[in-house]
Amino acid sequence: MNLERMDDTFAQRLRSVLVKQVDASSPTRVRRRRWWVGVGVFAGVGLVGGVGAATAGFFTVPGADIVTEVAAPAEGVHTGTQTVDLGPAPEGATHISMELACLSAGTLYAEGGASMSCSPNGIDGWGGFTIALQPGKHSTEIRTSTPEMRYRLRATYVNQTPTEWAVNENGNTHGAPNDRGEPDLLSVIATNGKVGYSYAQELDEASGRTAAENFTSPEDARVWQEARLGKSFAVPVYGADGETVIGEFVIEGPPDMRKDP
Amino acid sequence: MGDMNTDDGGLWSRSLAGDGEAFGVLFDRHRDRVYRHAYRLAQNRPDAEDVSAAAFLELWRLRTRVRLVEHSVLPWLLVTTTNCALNLRRSRRRYEALLRSIPHAPAAADPADIFLSDDPFQGVDEHLASALRALKPVDLQLITLVVLEGYDLASAAGILGLGPEVAKTRLHRARHRLQEHLPGLNAPRQLTLLEEGQS
């Protein structure tokens, strides 16, 4: 018997909490807001949206694409430039969904102009996206900056159906960001666990998107980043009316782990 | 060091893509190592459980900043476990509601706790715990990764954002400081503690 273990009951409860948190997140959210990921870290549990996880039986956020896998994914580890053949597209397929993760340093280029650079330290290096299907096309090419670069690719045919944003009494759109842009109010989960909306403009100010647009040099960005170390920025979360405050969404600057207290 | 070379890359990418079960498997894979380290610092089961829980919750909350070392999330988790243990009150406050929803086992004397505190080879005895707590946070991180968990100095320095020379000097001094704080060390434990990580 191994006694150096976490109590099993505690472990099982903790595990289910963790699994739920991850399930509630959205890959589309991460990729569409990549600028955000580099700038701050979300603490308000997460933004709802991107993919309405129809397959998982979740509710769909207005404006989110409903993405459903319609074929078994092709998954594998590759080295250097590769063409991945997915076979004939099944009925209902509208896009190819790809998830890439770096296993070594370098840059990956996908069709459609997406690229992803990875440092020697590993996974800054995760990206996922969908590309529209072209008739008769079964394969997709991933190019690498060096022939020895290693990466993991998961690719599959999906059906991607767009949905419309909802509009509240004040005429503000609300829901998830999509290819058409962002609604006035973005669907978020507040720190108290309630699902509500935050104004895109307020999120941009808190996350630094607004500031980032005004940087004139890398030095500006560095100074600004350092000023945010260890700080957090709260944004109100409203009901769909955009007026009733129901909680707050917190965006954290990077934790300051370098100094001795 | 059984798990050290296990490749977490696939599970980690799937977790980032919103696959909860993949994150669950990462939890299964590392929960005991994280717990053991938390216990080493906290010295009692409820605190060690809260610290472990906070470390895994932080793994997810800070996921965009997590660095895999040798394709593993464990080094990052161990560093975060140390931070959470040093800062138990703050870690608890952040996850207060969540932690309250996860019941701890009754506080009656737990044979596992007694076993753990009696067995210095497990690295969780009281003297070691207080000696570890006396170290500066960065030094504690280095000792944890290199001496207690057997990672090489370069990996440890990388994840802690230290230059190789700085890491080497700090580790050297931290070993000495640890030795000073552990006057009652018996020979076998000293070997375990001070030579395990040397390569």
**pLDDT of B26-57, one tens digit each?**
999 999 999 999 988 887 888 899 899 999 99
Cα–Cα dist A31/A204, whole Å: 16
Q: How far apart are the CA of B65 and the nearest CA of chain A, in angstroms?
A: 8
Confidence tier at B114 by pLDDT (50, 70, 90): very low
User: Using CB atoms, which residue from A22, A27, A101 is nearest to B60?
Assistant: A22
Question: Minimal Cα distance from A48: which residue of B?
Answer: B18
CATH number of B121-199: 1.10.10.10
User: Using CB atoms, which residue from A4, A5, A255 is nearest to B62?
Assistant: A255
pLDDT score for A194: 74
Alpha helices in A24-141 (DSSP H): 27-32, 34-39
Tell me the CB-side half-sphere exposure of residue B196, using CA atoms within 13 A. 19
Q: Which residues of B touch A38 (CB under 8 A)?
A: 64
pLDDT tens-digit readout, B137-173: 888 889 988 888 888 898 888 888 888 899 999 999 9
Strand partners, A245: A238
- Average pLDDT score, chain B: 76
> Are the Cβ atoms of B103 and A26 closer than 8 angstroms?
no
> Are the Cβ atoms of A4 and B71 closer than 8 angstroms?
no
Q: Which residues of A touch B21 (CB under 8 A)?
A: 19
pLDDT score for B121: 43
Can you give the residue ranges of every domain in chain A? 28-64+163-252, 68-161
> Are the Cβ atoms of B31 and A25 closer than 8 angstroms?
no
Question: Minimal Cα distance from B137: which residue of A?
Answer: A260
Can you give the residue ranges of every domain in chain B? 1-118, 121-199
Grouping H, G, I as helix, E, B as strand and the rest as coil, residue B18 is coil
> Are the Cβ atoms of B20 and A121 closer than 8 angstroms?
no
pLDDT score for B196: 37
pLDDT score for A60: 58
CB-based burial of residue A1 (10 Å sphere; 0-12 exposed, 13-18 middle, 19+ buried)? exposed
Q: How far apart are the CA of A49 and the nearest CA of chain B, in angstroms?
A: 12
pLDDT score for B4: 41
B138 touches chain A (CB under 8 A): yes
Question: Minimal Cα distance from B54: which residue of A?
Answer: A14
Strand partners, B78: none
Identify the architecture of domain B1-118 in CATH.
Answer: Orthogonal Bundle (1.10)
Domain over A68-161 is classified CATH 2.60.40: yes
Q: What is the pLDDT along chain A (261 residues), one digit of tens a residue?
A: 344 678 888 888 888 888 888 877 644 333 332 222 222 233 333 444 333 322 223 345 777 777 788 888 888 889 999 998 888 888 889 888 888 888 887 878 877 666 777 766 544 556 677 788 888 888 888 888 889 888 888 888 988 887 888 899 989 998 877 777 788 998 877 777 777 888 988 888 887 777 767 777 667 777 777 777 777 788 899 998 999 999 888 776 665 555 443
> Are the Cβ atoms of A37 and B45 closer than 8 angstroms?
no
Closest CA to A87 of A157, A141, A134: A157
Q: How far apart are the CA of B81 and the nearest CA of chain A, in angstroms?
A: 13
Q: Which residue has the higher pLDDT, A233 or B193?
A: A233
% pLDDT > 90, chain B: 17
User: Using CB atoms, which residue from A18, A43, A254 is nearest to B24?
Assistant: A18
